[in-house]
Amino acid sequence: MLDGTTGLDRDLLGGKAWSIERMRSLGIPVPPAFVLGTDVCRQYYRAERQLTSDVWDELPAAMAAIASVTGRHFGDETHPLLVSVRSGAAISMPGMMDTILNLGINDQVEKALAEETGDSRYAADTRRRFVEQFEKVVGTYPPDDPWEQLRMAIVAVLESWHSRRAIAYRRDRGISDDGGTAVTVQAMVFGNLDDRSGTGVLFTRDPLSGASTPYGEWLLHGQGEDVVSGRSNARALDELADEMPTAYAELMAAARQLEQAGRDVQDIEFTIESGKLWLLQTRSAKRSAEATVRHAVQLQREGLITVDEALDRVNADLVESVMTPHIDPTVLRTAEEVARGKQACQGVAVGVVITDVDEAEERASNGEQVILVRPTTDPDDVAAMSLVSGVVTELGGATSHAAVVCRELNVPCVVGCGDGAVELAGQTVTVDATHGIVYRGALPLVEPAVQDDSDLEQLLGWAQATTGTTEHTLPELLRLRARAVATG
């Protein structure tokens, strides 16, 4: 049981369960949960994709521990307990492995939920969500027996460690295939319950621009998958402050607490159920190259990290990407705008629009400048997204899958452009992801300078002081420093 006192490390618990442990230890409201550690996954693959009987034998006691906290029981026809089954590797791999929500529902449980809440539409919506997600992840209609649902979901999550997209993600980032994923089983809280319920994602600082202000999106009557999938256009977090001021104030307080404890910008998933705030997980935020630079300087100035730690959080390649060209402002007055959406990862990209993922991956791998344009992206699109010059989506917000992955890859991205973007297929466009605009044709670009940016100047000063030389550029100094650290 994840009660905040296990003392186990991230490598064993996986990032998701480890974050639940941390939040519980800080007194932050988190639905009760237990975890099958990464060692279970490694054992599963060593045993030729079989779980030992002791793993299954321990499940009833673990579920009973959740029931003792919630007052709900798995498969009960009066006060049923539903759970989520979530993946969670030691190193964050957002969207690359599988999750199943609302597990434990069947005809009898749906009826019980409807009678308990007096809302048959809520019960039916929860059942629909579960069936759709179970079929997508497991590949078959869910059985009636909640325990069999649980067993099948656990196996499916373990199998997703070796999914095509997870393997491609690890290969692209040099992550070992040997670590395995943990499986976290957590009591459900319902953002789709009523008019005082919703779900969202909060970044403790802006992951796009690097501003020190919180940034996020949320949905009324939604569950987490609605936000991160990009299929729904989420609302700005400021609106939550107006509609649910108490929950918003509690969220901001928890965000500050978690950033202080983690000494880094946090990406937090939350659900509000009938006005009650619950945090589901937190992790260090994936962010744009520019935001990484800004946040490193901010956190040092605020006393959360040292100068050495600030320099450790940036590298030469990242700084060079911040210093990439931008559109010549003299041509913007006559440039033709063909799409406009939300910033998701800053930068500028020029290329030909391709809407087929396989074609985009092939042409980009052959050295062509490609802009991948899709209604929305899917985790299976990551291999192509890591190769293309830019990404544009018709749906989704700045906390959607496309946005999060592009920020990690430092691929310029504009999301939520609306219908019609895919009709640009075959045309050459310029994506100004810093401002969320797509222009027709290849616009001329100009080079920036370190002197134009106070945060880069600060990093340059720190790098010069720690290396003892002023004769190199900032990227050169960072490479010198990295080599010195590596050689001791």
Mean pLDDT of 328-335: 86
* Unique residue bearing structure tokens 């999938």: 229
pLDDT of residue 230: 64
pLDDT digits (tens, 9 = 90+) for 399-448: 887 788 888 888 999 999 998 899 999 999 999 998 899 999 999 998 87
Separation CA 226–CA 237 (nearest Å): 15
Cβ–Cβ under 8 Å, residues 434 and 346: yes
pLDDT of residue 33: 98
C-alpha dihedral over 396, 401, 404, 406, to 10 degrees?
A: -90
pLDDT of residue 28: 98
Alpha carbon 39 to its chain centroid, in Å, reads 24
1-188: in CATH 3.30.1490.20:
yes
What's the CATH architecture for 326-446?
A: 3-Layer(bba) Sandwich (3.50)
Can you tell me whether residue 237 is helix, strand or coil?
coil
* Unique residue bearing structure tokens 């600060």: 458
Confidence band of 35 (pLDDT split at 50, 70, 90): very high
pLDDT of residue 458: 95
Domain boundaries, the chain: 1-188, 189-312, 326-446, 450-488
* Unique residue bearing structure tokens 């700005």: 236
Cβ–Cβ under 8 Å, residues 235 and 219: yes
Confidence band of 471 (pLDDT split at 50, 70, 90): confident
pLDDT digits (tens, 9 = 90+) for 337-383: 999 999 888 889 999 999 999 999 999 999 999 999 999 888 888 88
- The angle at the Cα of 103, spanning 3 to 24, to the nearest 5 degrees, equals 15
Mean pLDDT of 11-28: 96
Cβ contacts of 58 within 8 Å, gap of 6 or more:
none
pLDDT of residue 258: 98
Distances (CA, A) of 168 to 88, 282, 284, 360: 17, 24, 22, 16
pLDDT higher than threshold 80 for residue 488 = no
Can you tell me whether residue 199 is helix, strand or coil?
strand
Among residues 437, 340, 354, which one has the least CA distance to residue 388? 354
Cβ–Cβ contacts within 10 Å for residue 45, how many?
Answer: 16
Separation CA 328–CA 149 (nearest Å): 57
Among residues 362, 289, 331, which one has the least CA distance to residue 440? 331
pLDDT digits (tens, 9 = 90+) for 171-197: 888 899 999 999 999 999 999 999 999
Q: What is the DSSP string of 354-372?
A: E--HHHHHHHHHTT--EEE
Confidence band of 391 (pLDDT split at 50, 70, 90): very high
pLDDT digits (tens, 9 = 90+) for 41-69: 999 999 999 999 999 999 999 999 999 99
Separation CA 351–CA 388 (nearest Å): 9
Separation CA 162–CA 177 (nearest Å): 8
pLDDT of residue 283: 95
Confidence band of 398 (pLDDT split at 50, 70, 90): confident
pLDDT higher than threshold 90 for residue 333 = no
Superfamily assignment of 189-312 in CATH?
A: ATP-grasp fold, B domain (3.30.470.20)
Separation CA 292–CA 273 (nearest Å): 33
Q: What is the DSSP string of 143-174?
A: PS-HHHHHHHHHHHHHHGGGSHHHHHHHHHHT
Can you tell me whether residue 332 is helix, strand or coil?
coil
End-to-end Cα spacing for the chain: 41
pLDDT digits (tens, 9 = 90+) for 111-133: 999 999 999 999 999 999 999 99
Chain mean pLDDT for the chain: 93
Separation CA 252–CA 214 (nearest Å): 8
pLDDT higher than threshold 80 for residue 226 = no
pLDDT of residue 411: 93
Specify the DSSP element, H or E, that contains 3: none
Confidence band of 463 (pLDDT split at 50, 70, 90): very high
pLDDT of residue 10: 95
